Structures are given as C-alpha cells and as structure tokens.
Amino acid sequence: MKPLILGIESSCDDTSAAVLRGGVMLSNVIASQAIHARYGGVVPELASRAHLQNIIPVVDAALKDAGTTVADVDAVAFTRGPGLLGSLLVGLSFAKGFSLARNIPMVEVNHLQGHILSHFIDRPDVDTPHPSFPFLCLLVSGGHSQIVLVRDYLDMETVGETIDDAAGEAFDKCAKVMGLPYPGGPVVDRLASEGDPARFRLARPSVEGYNYSFSGLKTSFLYLLRDSLTLDPDFIEHNRADLCASLQNTVIEILLDKLVRAAEAYRIRDIAIAGGVSANSGLRRAVALQGERRGWRTFLPELKFTTDNAAMIALAGYHLYRAGRFSSLDVTPAARAGELS
C-alpha cells in the first residue's frame, strides 16, 4: 500500500492539514484567519498566534475526515518556507513533535513547489488531468510571480520572476488605495466584471528576459486616483469598476506576454498556472484563450487548490518521501525562497 502522508501548511494566514494516500487526497482542512481583514493585511504576530490555536484541531479534523488515525501516518510533510517566520515555525514545530512522537520521517516542502504540484493531487472520485513533463507553470501568488520550467516532480527551474512586487501584491495594494477590503484580489476580480478594461491606460514594464515588474503599474494606478496631491474619493467611487477592470486587464497582459514568450522559447505546450492569483477569472480566461490560439494544453487548478492548502504540501511531501529526502530534526524555517534548496 502507498504511504499515508500528513501535510501541514502554515506559511501565511491559513492553517491547513491534509491527508493523502500516495497522490490521492483523502482530506484537506483549512482554517482561514479572519482577524487580519480589519488591519488591511496580514499581521505576522496575530497569524502565528492563530496558527498555534488552530493547528491541533485542524490536524484532528483532517485525520478524522480521512477516516484515519495518528497511528496510520507514515510521514509528515510541512512547509519550510518561504513565508512568515513565526507562522512557519508553528507548522515546523508541530511536524517535529509529530515525527518524534510517532517515530516517522518528516519531509520539508518548498511552498512554491507545493503550489506547482497542486496539479497532481488526485481524488478517489475525480479524474484530474496532469500536465506532462516538461511543462511551464506561471506561479502567481501574494508573495511571488514566477515562470517555472518543471522537468519533474522535484526538478524545477525558475526561468523568470518579478524583480519587485508580486502580481497578487499589485492587486492587494491597488485595492487598498481604493478602500477595498483585504485581500483585494478577489474583490477586484468581482468588480472588474462590470467595468471597461480599456478605460484607463496603466504603465507596462520593460524588464529583461522572462522577468516581471509590477511596481510601475502600482505607481501609475496611484496617480490615476489623485486630485493634485490627495486621493480623490469621488473619482474612485464613480469609477471603481472601470479602475478594477483596467488594473486586472493590465496585470493579465503583463503576465501573459512573458508566459507566451517563454513557451515559444522553450517550445513547451503544456502550460499550467498556480498560486492565489490563478483563481482570477480574467487570467483563467486569458490563459485558456491563448491555449486555444497556440495549441497549448492548459491546466487551470480547481479554485480550492489555488490558495494555500496542505494537500499540495502533502503531495510534494509524497514525492520527497519516495525519493528518500527526509529532513533532520535540526531543520529551521526559511522565510525567503533563496534560503531553500
């Protein structure tokens, strides 16, 4: 029988636990932290405190949903980074304790690889199409925007990435100056459907290779909203839908431009998207459309696998386990992607 993997995700503001048998998901429980909305962003200290409160009940629920017990688990996979240090520490410490108490191996997962591997999560009753290696994945989240060449489950190369803000950050920060609630991405997505995407012209970056930049777009957006030196609330109020549509449209165009170029240069036709921003309805439509035009096979994750979840961590953990890549007990969290192998 294939190994039973318990996955733990606690890199930002969602506490999640999942149980997989091999690559098949048996449960995936997510406790989101509502507390941050009133501050307009994630407050790290509150996040780690909420993780501490949530982690045991969430793991309990995941085991119960899967119809398994603590004694059945063969390995525990956890997010080592990137993410918030205090938040990561909660999941990592839990994994260490669990691994010690049960005398089972633990495996550390790179959160970004987890997002990409969410395309391989199988369900007992759903047929999930998997991309074939090598494929390209546009990974777009609140902290990262990258184009990744995926040669195998554990063999990935970043061919382009943002030199400043992430795509999700562009959504969140522009939403914030419009007075919209956090996180801004889903709200902008909803409002954009009623707006004119060609109404406002925003700055497009010119950066080398397959890299991205979103800070110029953010600045040009801020300038739009100003009446001399202050924000103009009436203008924002009356043009909200058009502002959201123009913003979303520009982000999508920037993302697609480099993705198309990378697909051509690497001659790859299996194209996936992943990460929180891959939930964006406009981006999903645009990628599907490009796919039809260019003969790509496109892979859009199910919405529940776009944002942070432990199922993707357990899936990555399963492949690390198969490869015998276990962690030692002195492993520490890694806030930045550069600290990870």
Q: How far is the CB of 319 from ligand KG4 (least distance, A)?
A: 20
Pairing of strands 297-299, 270-274: parallel
Q: How far is the CB of 95 from Zn ion (least distance, A)?
A: 18
* Whole-angstrom distance, CA of residue 271 vs CA of residue 132: 9
Q: How far is the CB of 145 from ligand KG4 (least distance, A)?
A: 10
Asked whether the beta carbons of 147 and 259 are under 8 A apart, the reply is yes
Distances in whole angstroms, Cα of residue 19 to Cα of each of 36, 121, 266, 275, 308:
27, 11, 35, 20, 15
Instruction: Please give the residue ranges that form the binding site for Zn ion (CB under 5 A).
Output: 141, 308
Q: How far is the CB of 333 from ligand KG4 (least distance, A)?
A: 15
Residue 192's binding partner out of ligand KG4, Zn ion, none, with CB under 5 to 8 Å set by partner kind: none
| Tokens read off for 184 | 């801004």
When CB distances to ligand KG4 are compared, the closest residue is 276
Residue 114 or 195 with smaller CB distance to Zn ion: 114
Q: How far is the CB of 210 from ligand KG4 (least distance, A)?
A: 20
Q: Look up residue 122 and give its amino acid.
A: D
* Whole-angstrom distance, CA of residue 324 vs CA of residue 173: 41
* Whole-angstrom distance, CA of residue 301 vs CA of residue 284: 9
The torsion angles phi and psi of 12, rounded to 5 degrees, stand at: -135, -110
Whether the ω angle into residue 134 lies within 30 degrees of 0, i.e. cis, is yes
Residue 165 or 308 with smaller CB distance to Zn ion: 308
Residue 48 or 249 with smaller CB distance to Zn ion: 48
Residue 99 or 278 with smaller CB distance to ligand KG4: 278
Instruction: Please give the residue ranges that form the binding site for ligand KG4 (CB under 6 A).
Output: 12, 141-143, 168, 171-172, 183-186, 189, 275-277, 279-280, 307-308
Residue 105 or 184 with smaller CB distance to ligand KG4: 184
| Tokens read off for 22 | 């091999």
Q: How far is the CB of 252 from Zn ion (least distance, A)?
A: 19
Residue 165's binding partner out of Zn ion, ligand KG4, none, with CB under 5 to 8 Å set by partner kind: none
Residue 42 or 247 with smaller CB distance to Zn ion: 42
* Whole-angstrom distance, CA of residue 318 vs CA of residue 26: 13
